[in-house]
Structure 1
């Protein structure tokens, strides 16, 4: 598979097509007398409601009941129900990957996997942490989605749909409690008509949690979470040929502490300030014994500085639909704004070394207008215009407290930096518009040709500056040695340092455009078996680095993708067995990457050539009338074909090109990227039957299994953190009636210890000489109870 090219990909596809053709022909010979079968799932992946099995793209879909039964409350949970999907938090951002392609640590990046909620783009990293609320459906679309969703979906898209107001009265209340971690979730929903033409829906959520990592220094569990959300939707249908859906939502999600611990601590080498001892011992020598009490994955950490994350999100969306004869005109207007303030004990120890303060604000307005032709004609189409403008204001401050152990190193040579901080200010303004069109020509009832294209034009202006300031007053640091030492010791070029005659006050502008075409051919082998093949392109605009500490890492280039996919979607055995197979190959030019610089920053760049290819198989099977299985398995082959400019991990011998700052980099050509397990898969079983137990009417049991093969989770691809394969098991049993449901559930009952992100502890290698790693740790086994009331 490693060397499988386009020819091999389509040869495999042809073989699979022959097998399915024979199966379909055999099925057509049998009279279909059974009326029951799998539930039809409608999706909006192509901007109109249609059967998922008739949509010729690779996707995974979970409806509202599936989300509830799998206890999926956020994207972090969704990854264990969808192969080839990965999501993680890091010290300063959040990342999501599909088929091994995602976006690294940098506020200057747009996400490679676009998140869309009710047609509105939620592309900023912090918004991926937002909890789900009263969703109707979650669609995970894989591969470039450039025509329908635009440039921000070069790896795929999450298409989330909120539940809509109903004319009939509906009430729902839910209580979920996980006693082990003190987690309690309360949700409520009320929907119904206000008048003959106006209906409303209100949904609320309150969540609190004590956390699952023990901070022994502060004698508390972390991350302590406190989250609230409220959404009001109004649906006005003044006439049969028009309707208006207005939604306003506010989310607040706050956290105290982090799910981070030191997981490895190797001694310093000769030539280090204190050679032969590890980071834990060095901090003890400097007066802070117990700053690290162990260096293994055991859900225990030590951190002294206060850590918090305060997030507020506001959204207003207006969707208007007008029937113009047989055509439908839709206008979607959206306002999204958020702000978050975060403090990070980013040395990840209980010693005073340094901390980071982050303040980010974002505002976005978007407008889409599209016209959709009637279906059922030989030629149907949709087309539209899209406009989006946004403003980002990002500030962070690397603060060294007055009692920092850094002041004790090298005979006090670094003492002038204590009590001071390196403050960064970054602004990014973006204006973008695009026009798109997609048409389908049905040569026969079986054969359809789809052609599409999107033209995008985008302008960006950005600025970034670094200043050394007094952390107590905010004024420019009085001692000029502070600016010099921040520059010399930590590589932070700044406006005050004479070692940086160019200073650190950057501005830039980009004006670029792209044309992304698509061709897709689908053929129905029978009423319930469809084969398809497609070729498309993807594009993500270039931009400006927000997180680097040196002026040479500033502008990065646009990213292009060319994708080929072929597959089969089928319903067999009297519509009780769904088998969907896809084979894909995507070639990325100038893939945008961000890697830790080994000190205190992240540098961005472009990997010249990257190829991802593989096979995905997913579907459902109604084994019995009351027993259904959902399954998915994915094989992924990810390879950097030309990536000679990667940032080296600690103690790696440079073997790449010379970087912009004059230092030699590392060659990652031939390697796989972060979050690229060869094999991922899941199986879900749902058993439903009548019962009279305790006065309930039905019993439901669900079992979920997830597997991931080994993968590298280190941001700089350190081979030490190619973590082993693991398996997760979830289980849920419920008693249900017309109004009441009571369920007991367990998640990760195998108690797997899963690292979701690993990096070198900042300054541990560059300043102290050790090889020390921190890791983000996923939840251990958790058990809970859920009670629902429906009316």
Structure 2
């Protein structure tokens, strides 16, 4: 086992031992279910008990997420094994079992996000996903039969809270003083008639921040987010059920990328401080803060986000069968400003006198319309089946303006442009995509104990892209309004900035695949089931959006899984065990490489990758008021064949132009061990009750960049959350104290090289210890 500072071998052995003797619970990823409760999931397009589904699934109820003040998928992911969401300036990483789409705007996500059956393929859209929920299902491994072609690594299947038949009101509020994090959320269900109910829900949340910025004087991230929903449940006649909703969300967040400067000055083998690092040292008298300590000198940043999502779902009884129609509309747009050089522009970050160093202004707009049809037979037949068709149209428009102020780029023009000119590049792309898909699945109950499941999906994905580039000059905060294009020295400027000019060589592409799946389930007893499954997955090719005009081919996977799900000793013990092995081919990969003034984001197909591992979930219920839980995972996610990979920062210091063979190297965001251990205790106090929840979650070291560079990695760590709640035993209200990261571990979810400052790194720290108050009610 690799040793690391924050989590030594003793801590790992202790966590493993606790997991084996006290608990895991793969059923509720955030908190245990009540004794006797079943967790219902729709991983196979039907409502089923989680223990009957031949898929590795973790499920969290909306109530459990609310109690733990988990408001984002990112916060949920760090508490789960083999699941990670990490923000980055280019796009967000969403990774399951070490597989996910890396940082490029042109990627759809390898982990598909579905909210009430509507697909959200853009990485930023995951930020508005956890609101007024019934449950979240984390499906691990390819999910192509029931969820579509892009769910090659897994799927997040999110179900919102539906209007009921009775009047109901709920609300919650929380506040954490040290970070200024707050949340106010409420909802009301209004029965209009016996057949029609409406629900209104809204949330306002935000944060003052926990990273001090010595340049702007403002802590960050400073968040101001709101979202509202109107939903409807209507049964106009017998045999017809309609569920519809409309969501509107808005985020106005500032200081969102308060990244910190690390390793300035550098040590061997790097020659010494360079570029922004050297100038910063000179301006500061030879000493700067270059350690991870939640103090930043980053230049201003912000994230403005608006989204609208509409869903119209209709179930029509056709005899004993069911026809389901789901119409979806999704729209989002955002404007992002980020500077990946964490050096104040006026103190060495800029080489041309601006207040920013490498400002990136990104405008994205995306519209999607989808229609799905499913026809399903009753589940309790000897042979049950389901088939359907899907169509999706999407239009993506991006405008990227990047200022190259961290270096005197104009020097490359030989005097045609004055040396102190702030050179910027403008990249505009549009993409129109059409997805046509059809699937069929069937289950044969060969005996009372044996079930055979088969399925398949055919997908066709057409994409039409256009790209235009310009070089020019822009203000310290670049925008479409202040960008002024050049007409001279364009060849030299493109070369010096690392921007490939012009359109894509082949701007149209069409990818298709047939994806079979099969599994066998066998009931070992009334409460124990074993299964084995085989799935093929496919993710369409596409185009890099950014400084390069490359395209990439589809990636494919063949995946095998063997598992056991068992409720033992009259449900005193629940055991879920899964072993998996997957072979990925033509894996789509991005790596950011900096050489001097040139910053390039390479998008390639990284040949082959192999993923294997074991996931163990246990739950022990020693008494009616005590539940012990844990989920532990071992993962090996490595490149099997990647001979022409980008180099590490150390290799680039020795040979600025180089490639390396990453065959056999571990992939990014793929820790060897990860998991959680939890406990829930309720103690009656007359008419009231006291509840205590504790959850420890851990990870071993993992890389944060796709170059095998262990300088850019997060050390292993253990974090602990806890909650104490008090309220009436029948639960109409509760007051609680909630603590997160109680051991105050200092970690960073994002690390990257600093452009122009060879050997220096940038990192964005995670939240510190926070203890807050929470109140909730429902009636």
Fold match by TM threshold 0.5 = yes
Equivalent positions of 1:283-322 (< 5 A) are 283-284=279-280, 288-289=283-284, 293-304=288-299, 306-322=300-316
Contact 1:143 1:155 in 2 (8 A): yes
- 86-95 vs 255-264, which deviates more? 255-264
Question: What is the distance in 1 between the residues matched to 2:291 and 2:210?
Answer: 16
How far the C-alpha of 1:492 sits from its partner, in A, is 2.0
Corresponding residue number in structure 2 for 1:755 = 748
Answering whether residue 485 of structure 2 is matched by residue 477 of structure 1, we say: yes
Question: What is the distance in 1 between the residues matched to 2:566 and 2:55?
Answer: 13
Corresponding residue number in structure 1 for 2:692 = 701
Partner-residue secondary structure (3-state), 1:600: strand
Contact 1:354 1:400 in 2 (8 A): yes
CA RMSD of aligned residues (A): 2.5
How far the C-alpha of 1:400 sits from its partner, in A, is 4.3
Equivalent positions of 1:21-170 (< 5 A) are 37-170=35-168
Distance 1:611 1:276, change over 3 A: closer
Contact 1:178 1:784 in 2 (8 A): yes
How far the C-alpha of 1:621 sits from its partner, in A, is 2.3
Equivalent positions of 1:27-426 (< 5 A) are 37-257=35-255, 258-267=257-266, 276-277=272-273, 282-284=278-280, 288-289=283-284, 293-304=288-299, 306-351=300-345, 352=350, 353-400=357-404, 406=408, 415-416=418-419, 418-426=421-429
How far the C-alpha of 1:550 sits from its partner, in A, is 3.9
Question: What is the distance in 2 between the residues matched to 1:83 and 1:731?
Answer: 19
How far the C-alpha of 1:736 sits from its partner, in A, is 1.7
Partner-residue secondary structure (3-state), 2:599: coil
How far the C-alpha of 1:73 sits from its partner, in A, is 1.1
Contact 2:643 2:661 in 1 (8 A): yes
Corresponding residue number in structure 1 for 2:500 = 493
Distance 1:332 1:281, change over 3 A: closer
Question: What is the distance in 2 between the residues matched to 1:787 and 1:529?
Answer: 39
Corresponding residue number in structure 1 for 2:31 = none
Partner-residue secondary structure (3-state), 1:652: helix
Contact 1:386 1:435 in 2 (8 A): yes
Corresponding residue number in structure 2 for 1:14 = none
Partner-residue secondary structure (3-state), 1:181: coil
How far the C-alpha of 1:52 sits from its partner, in A, is 0.5
Answering whether residue 649 of structure 2 is matched by residue 641 of structure 1, we say: no
Corresponding residue number in structure 2 for 1:711 = 702
Corresponding residue number in structure 1 for 2:478 = none
Partner-residue secondary structure (3-state), 1:166: coil
Distance 1:167 1:639, change over 3 A: same
How far the C-alpha of 1:464 sits from its partner, in A, is 1.8
In the superposition, the TM-score normalised over structure 1's length comes to 0.88
Contact 1:262 1:292 in 2 (8 A): no
Question: What is the distance in 1 between the residues matched to 2:633 and 2:267?
Answer: 41
Question: What is the distance in 2 between the residues matched to 1:153 and 1:468?
Answer: 37
Q: Please, which runs of 5 or more residues in structure 1 have no aligned partner?
A: 3-35, 495-502, 657-661, 766-770
Distance 1:778 1:650, change over 3 A: same
Distance 1:285 1:614, change over 3 A: closer
Question: What is the distance in 1 between the residues matched to 2:281 and 2:593?
Answer: 27
In the superposition, the TM-score normalised over structure 2's length comes to 0.89
1:576 to 572, 576, 581: 572
Contact 1:303 1:350 in 2 (8 A): yes
Contact 1:280 1:293 in 2 (8 A): no
Distance 1:456 1:405, change over 3 A: closer
Contact 1:38 1:576 in 2 (8 A): no
Distance 1:49 1:676, change over 3 A: same
Q: Deviations over 1:432-467 (max 9, x none)?
A: 111101100001110000000001111111122221
Question: What is the distance in 2 between the residues matched to 1:663 and 1:38?
Answer: 62
Question: What is the distance in 2 between the residues matched to 1:505 and 1:560?
Answer: 23
Q: Deviations over 1:2-55 (max 9, x none)?
A: 9xxxxxxxxxxxxxxxxxxxxxxxxxxxxxxxxx94411111111110100001
Partner-residue secondary structure (3-state), 2:408: helix
Q: Deviations over 1:66-120 (max 9, x none)?
A: 2123322111111133210011001221111000001111111110000100000
Distance 1:131 1:295, change over 3 A: farther
Q: Deviations over 1:136-171 (max 9, x none)?
A: 001000000000001111000000000000111111
Question: What is the distance in 2 between the residues matched to 1:279 and 1:749?
Answer: 39
Corresponding residue number in structure 2 for 1:459 = 462
Question: What is the distance in 1 between the residues matched to 2:683 and 2:658?
Answer: 65
State how many pairs are aligned. 726
Contact 1:571 1:579 in 2 (8 A): yes
How far the C-alpha of 1:349 sits from its partner, in A, is 1.5
Partner-residue secondary structure (3-state), 1:615: strand
Distance 1:131 1:180, change over 3 A: farther
Corresponding residue number in structure 1 for 2:12 = none
Corresponding residue number in structure 2 for 1:618 = 617
How far the C-alpha of 1:284 sits from its partner, in A, is 3.7
Question: What is the distance in 1 between the residues matched to 2:662 and 2:125?
Answer: 30
